[in-house]
């Protein structure tokens, strides 16, 4: 992932924020109008009938109208609020609240006698069903070592690549019983991002997020059909999909000492070719403290979730996971400062992290909950965690989440402390969104900014689970609206959805399969100014909320990654569930 050598890739699309192009479009039931949709920002997928519905308008107007697309009739007229400036986008917008429109259908918002209209959007109880399913299906499409068949992959069917049954132990990973050059099998799992490598640190947070969803929404999972090869077995599809990666993670543990290899990788990023054409040798590289701790936490969490299953197979696997977690935790404690750094002959993603206190806390928390041993966790450690969204390089909040949801009697005091931290953080996120011009909790832009949006929404959903306060659900709606089009770029950031679609993701299969449409269901990384020159011929905005390019070369804004899609699935599916249960607003 994030390979500087990709700077010379051909440009596919240039995004310009300094001009707005007018277009003419036929509206069913209404006359042809000249519109400029990016002057009215909406959730391009749609809204639940009883959710808050707020569009953002970028032009001065005394009123706005909501038009039923099929009949052409005005169903609601409103007055927008005052303009509000956002220093992250460098522009001002005013809010157009049309929450009063509740009848299912297809609509547009129009201004100035229909001279300016938004993209068409839908109101309905199941508006998030398809996009939620696609966000999980993206993991299937990104599986390593298997053929993607036409039955389940449609036009994105492809041959299998990277069987990973003959992986070389790199010199950095060698041990007495597994010297350099030893061949091991480490098959399965998901490709990490836009590249074909597999990384334990990023796999940990991604798999944990899906396990957390299974823990919080078991009934939804039982009824969820992801249309994957395992759909007809007795295991829920969400669980089936995460097991693909969990079982691969188990192969990355050295059975002799319990340490965990940091990554399975080529020595360098391959060209943009299909998986079966990428045949460079594969290596496991260095056992690291971070990888071993993330592995510990994920396996311990898996043991808790799997042992609650009705499946004897999964209960047995849960016991295996707990044993593996204890071994990796022992290795990490014996090797507390093995920080990962790429060996000189390896140039793929490092996922390097020099601060591991949060990983030690997360691992101890998950292992303590799995073993019902709260002596592994101290109140002081709980209080020391930063209030930040979960990410591959910060896992303190994942431990806080797990403690907040625990039902162990021994964990009562820890749970109380963790819930206070969680709810205080969620309240702060709600306050930020209420004061934001763009009605979103995000007020900073890092690499993968869209993942921060969905992870903030995840925090609020956990807060709702803990407290039952529906203000958190209402705030999540703003985050969903942002991802699905109500943002400063005007893009719906989930591939395959919306009117202004992301088409040119930094993703090797999508970029080399000869198909115009990208793999669907992926969350694009999103705007930021961390790297402004990944596409030298594209002039990106210096305002971070607008600094985005829908171009294959823009690995800093348009790559995809499993740790971004996991919270995307979590949030969209939770909102789909709450929509069906009439729990929005």
How do the domains of the chain map onto residue ranges? 23-123
> What pLDDT is stored for residue 163 in this prediction?
98
Quick one: pLDDT band at residue 323, thresholds 50, 70, 90? very high
Q: What is the DSSP string of 206-274?
A: HHHHHHHHHHH-HHHHHH-----TTTTSSS-HHHHHHHHHHHHHHHTB-TTT--BEEEEE-SS---S--
> What pLDDT is stored for residue 584 in this prediction?
53
Residue in the structure block whose two tokens are 């509000």: 84
Among residues 65, 359, 534, 559, the one annotated as catalytic is: 559
Q: What's this model's pTM, rounded to 2 decimal places?
A: 0.93
Please choose, from the candidates 163, 169, 166, 157, the residue with its C-alpha nearest in 3D space to the C-alpha of residue 188.
163
> What pLDDT is stored for residue 121 in this prediction?
98
> Could you report the per-residue pLDDT of 198-254, keeping only the tens digit for each?
999 999 999 999 999 999 999 999 999 999 999 999 999 999 999 999 999 999 999
Residue 479 is among the residues annotated as catalytic for this protein: no
> What pLDDT is stored for residue 112 in this prediction?
85
> Could you report the per-residue pLDDT of 261-291, keeping only the tens digit for each?
999 999 999 999 999 999 999 999 999 999 9
CA 289 to each of CA 201, 241, 343, 525: distance values in angstroms, whole numbers, following the listed order: 10, 27, 16, 27
Q: Is the pLDDT of residue 26 over 60?
A: no
Write down the mean pLDDT value for the chain.
Answer: 93
CA angle 120, 121, 127 (to 5 degrees): 150
Backbone angles phi, psi at 340, to 5 degrees: -80, 135
> Could you report the per-residue pLDDT of 361-375, keeping only the tens digit for each?
999 999 999 999 999
Residue 434 is among the residues annotated as catalytic for this protein: no
Residue in the structure block whose two tokens are 């390896």: 346
Record the tokens describing residue 165, joined without a space.
Answer: 């049954």
Strands 23-25 and 33-35: antiparallel
Among residues 550, 552, 576, 578, the one annotated as catalytic is: 550
Please choose, from the candidates 35, 2, 31, 38, the residue with its C-alpha nearest in 3D space to the C-alpha of residue 487.
38
Distance CA 93, CA 80 (A): 10
Burial (0-12, 13-18, 19+ Cβ within 10 Å), 393: middle
Residue 550 is among the residues annotated as catalytic for this protein: yes
Distance CA 288, CA 262 (A): 6
Quick one: pLDDT band at residue 33, thresholds 50, 70, 90? very low
Record the tokens describing residue 148, joined without a space.
Answer: 């993607």
CA 325 to each of CA 329, 358, 360, 567: distance values in angstroms, whole numbers, following the listed order: 6, 17, 13, 23
Higher pLDDT, 402 or 16: 402
Upper half-sphere CA count for residue 49 (Cβ side, 13 Å): 10
Please choose, from the candidates 247, 262, 256, 248, the residue with its C-alpha nearest in 3D space to the C-alpha of residue 330.
256
Which residues, 6 or more positions from 398, have their beta carbon under 8 angstroms from its beta carbon? 205, 208, 297, 362, 390
- Classified as helix, coil or strand, 65 is strand
- Classified as helix, coil or strand, 304 is helix
> What pLDDT is stored for residue 24 in this prediction?
30
Q: Is the pLDDT of residue 585 over 60?
A: no
Distance CA 285, CA 70 (A): 58
CA torsion angle 344 185 519 556 (round to 10):
-20
Quick one: pLDDT band at residue 352, thresholds 50, 70, 90? very high
Q: Is the pLDDT of residue 41 over 90?
A: yes
Burial (0-12, 13-18, 19+ Cβ within 10 Å), 374: buried
> What pLDDT is stored for residue 23 in this prediction?
32
Is 23-123 in CATH node 2.102.10.10? Answer: no
The arithmetic mean of pLDDT across residues 502-529, rounded, is: 98
Quick one: pLDDT band at residue 580, thresholds 50, 70, 90? confident
> Could you report the per-residue pLDDT of 399-409, keeping only the tens digit for each?
999 999 999 99
- Classified as helix, coil or strand, 501 is strand
Among residues 48, 170, 414, 506, the one annotated as catalytic is: 506
Q: How many helices (H) and strands (E) does the chain have?
A: 16, 17
Record the tokens describing residue 404, joined without a space.
Answer: 């907040």
Please choose, from the candidates 377, 427, 430, 416, the residue with its C-alpha nearest in 3D space to the C-alpha of residue 399.
377
CA 162 to each of CA 138, 260, 285: distance values in angstroms, whole numbers, following the listed order: 18, 20, 17
First to last CA, the chain: 39
Quick one: pLDDT band at residue 20, thresholds 50, 70, 90? very low
Please choose, from the candidates 553, 520, 564, the residue with its C-alpha nearest in 3D space to the C-alpha of residue 272.
553
> Could you report the per-residue pLDDT of 95-136, keeping only the tens digit for each?
999 999 999 999 999 998 889 999 999 999 999 999 999 999
Distance CA 256, CA 327 (A): 10
Among residues 164, 195, 481, 513, the one annotated as catalytic is: 195
Residue in the structure block whose two tokens are 């709606």: 477
| CB 328, CB 258: distance < 8 Å | yes
Residue 506 is among the residues annotated as catalytic for this protein: yes
Distance CA 381, CA 351 (A): 24
Record the tokens describing residue 177, joined without a space.
Answer: 């019983």
């Amino acid at each position: 992932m994030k390979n500087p050598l990709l700077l010379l890739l051909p440009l596919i699309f240039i995004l310009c924020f300094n001009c707005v192009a007018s277009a003419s479009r036929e509206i069913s039931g209404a006359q042809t109008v000249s519109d400029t949709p990016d002057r009215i920002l909406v959730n391009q997928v749609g809204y639940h009938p009883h959710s808050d519905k707020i569009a953002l308008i970028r032009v001065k107007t005394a009123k706005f109208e909501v038009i039923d697309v099929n009949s052409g009739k005005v169903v609601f007229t409103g007055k927008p609020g005052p303009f509000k400036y956002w220093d992250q986008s460098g522009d001002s917008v005013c809010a157009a609240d049309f929450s009063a429109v509740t009848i299912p259908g297809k609509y547009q918002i129009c201004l100035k006698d229909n001279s300016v209209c938004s993209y068409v959007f839908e109101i309905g109880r199941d508006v998030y069903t398809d996009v939620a399913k696609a966000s999980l299906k993206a993991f299937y499409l990104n599986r390593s070592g298997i053929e993607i068949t036409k039955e389940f992959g449609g036009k994105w069917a492809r041959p299998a690549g990277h069987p990973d049954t003959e992986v070389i132990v790199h010199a950095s990973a060698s041990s007495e019983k597994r010297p350099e050059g030893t061949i091991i099998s480490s098959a399965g799992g998901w490709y990490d991002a836009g590249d074909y490598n597999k990384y334990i640190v990023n796999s940990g947070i991604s798999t944990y997020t899906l396990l957390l969803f299974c823990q919080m929404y078991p009934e939804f999972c039982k009824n969820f059909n992801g249309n994957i090869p395992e759909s007809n077995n007795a295991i829920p599809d969400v669980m089936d999909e995460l097991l693909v990666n969990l079982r691969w993670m188990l192969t990355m543990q050295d059975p002799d000492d319990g340490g965990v290899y940091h990554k399975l990788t080529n020595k360098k990023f391959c060209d943009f070719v299909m998986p079966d054409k990428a045949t460079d040798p594969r290596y496991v590289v260095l056992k690291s403290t971070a990888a071993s701790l993330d592995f510990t936490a994920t396996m311990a969490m898996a043991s808790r979730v799997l042992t609650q299953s009705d499946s004897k197979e999964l209960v047995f696997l849960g016991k295996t996971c707990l044993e593996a977690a204890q071994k990796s935790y022992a290795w990490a404690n014996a090797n507390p400062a093995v920080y990962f750094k790429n060996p000189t002959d390896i140039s793929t993603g490092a996922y390097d992290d020099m601060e591991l206190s949060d990983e030690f806390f997360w691992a101890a928390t998950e292992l303590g909950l799995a073993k019902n041993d709260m002596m592994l966790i101290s109140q002081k450690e709980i209080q020391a965690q930063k209030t930040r969204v979960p990410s591959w390089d910060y896992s303190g909040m994942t431990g806080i989440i797990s403690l907040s949801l625990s039902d162990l009697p021994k964990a009562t005091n820890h749970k109380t402390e963790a819930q206070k931290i969680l709810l205080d953080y969620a309240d702060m996120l709600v306050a930020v969104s209420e004061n934001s011009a763009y009605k979103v909790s995000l007020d900073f832009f890092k690499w993968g900014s869209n993942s921060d949006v969905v992870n903030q929404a995840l925090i609020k959903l956990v807060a709702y689970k803990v407290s039952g306060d529906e203000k958190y659900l209402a705030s999540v709606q703003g985050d969903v609206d942002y991802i699905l089009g109500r943002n400063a770029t005007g893009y719906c950031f989930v591939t395959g959805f919306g009117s202004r679609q992301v088409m040119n993701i930094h993703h090797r299969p999508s970029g080399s399969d000869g198909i115009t449409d990208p793999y669907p269901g992926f969350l694009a990384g999103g705007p930021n100014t961390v790297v402004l020159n990944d596409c030298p011929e594209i002039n990106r905005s210096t305002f971070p909320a607008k600094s985005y390019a829908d171009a294959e070369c823009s690995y800093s804004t348009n790559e995809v990654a499993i740790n971004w899609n996991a919270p995307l699935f979590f949030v969209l599916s939770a909102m789909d569930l709450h929509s069906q249960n009439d729990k929005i607003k």
